[in-house]
Structure 1
Amino acid sequence: RFHQWLEQMPENIVRTKGIVWLAQYNDVACLLSQAGSSCNIHPVTYWVATMSESQQQAILEARQDVVEDWDIEYGDRQTQFVIIGTDLDQEKISRELDACLIHSSEIDEDWRLLDSPYQWTYDRRM
Structure 2
Amino acid sequence: MRKNSIKNTRINSEVQHELSNIIRAGLKDPRVATMTSVVMAEVAPDLKTCKAYISVLGDEKAQQDTLKGLKSAEGYIRRELARTLNMRNTPEIRFVLDQSIEYGVNMSKKIADVTKDLKEEAE
The alignment's TM-score, normalised by the length of structure 1, stands at 0.30
Larger strand proportion of the pair: 1
Highest RCO, 1 vs 2 (Cα 8 Å, sep ≥ 6): 1
The alignment's TM-score, normalised by the length of structure 2, stands at 0.30
Which structure's CA Rg is the greater one? 2
